[in-house]
Amino acid sequence: MPPLTGRVILVTGAARGQGEQEARLFVAEGARVVLTDVLDERGKAVAEELGADSALYVHLDVGEEGDWAAAVAAAKERFGKLDGLVNNAGILRLNELAGTPREEFLDVVRVNQLGTFLGMREAAPELAAAGGGTIVNTASYVALAGMAGLTAYAATKGAVVAMTRVAALELAGRGIRVNAMCPGAIDTPMSNPALLDPAADPVRVAEGMAGFYRKLVPMGRAGRPEEVARLALFLTADDSSYVTGQQFVVDGGWLAGAPMPA
């Protein structure tokens, strides 16, 4: 029997990238998935492809309390309950500390940090009502190691790791496990915005990214979204039944140190 049979999981930022791959994998492993995003056209297309019996798309701006309430209500209305949450939605802004405008910093906080907080707060009572469940928060490699130009992003992802630990302590007695993923360089439009530029040469973009990470990452490449999705599956399924309050790095060895120069 697939490991997520009978489970209902809500995934944020599920229209593309890591969230899309998590939704696809979860459905393949037996779950019914509520895909949420602000990219409505793309999100609806993914949900339709997965099928109405297994997937539902709901618009969700993770910084809006009302959107969270509506998304959870939609999950219960369609599938009867909520067993899990994957807080995947996030944004990244590149800027040096001294040059980061207040508004830009707060935009990143609103999505990455506030969005994760609101999701956990809204989902926890429903997970408890379902007899327990799981929350998987998406942090980052830069929550654990510095990277120039990412003050706002690193600050919010560090907060995600801290909130994960506190939530795990508070929710364990209600049968809810809470863990965090810390991806390194993953080949998605967020980490490589040039992929979204219709004028960009996709081959040149791919070659440039590959060369950059070949020098930095011991495994010699960026990760793939489906590799992060498999970690999310492990943390959502019963294979990780005695795991909570932890951070899991998925970075090709980047955090371990610099590879030998070529």
Please report whether residue 213 resides in a domain: no
pLDDT at 128 over 70: yes
Please report whether residue 3 resides in a domain: no
pLDDT at 259: 74
- Average the pLDDT over 101-123 and give the result: 98
220: left (phi over 0), alpha (psi -120 to 50) or beta: left
Q: Which of 141, 153, 213, 242 is catalytic?
A: 153
Active site residue 141: no
Please report whether residue 205 resides in a domain: no
Residue ranges making up the domain that contains 160 = 8-186+223-250
pLDDT at 109: 98
pLDDT at 203 over 80: no
Count of domains forming the chain: 1
Please report whether residue 204 resides in a domain: no
pLDDT in tens, 148-198: 999 999 999 999 999 999 999 999 999 999 999 999 989 887 766 554 445
CA geometry: angle 238, 178, 10, nearest 5 deg: 80
pLDDT at 125 over 90: yes
CATH number at residue 47: 3.40.50.720
Please report whether residue 12 resides in a domain: yes
Please report whether residue 206 resides in a domain: no
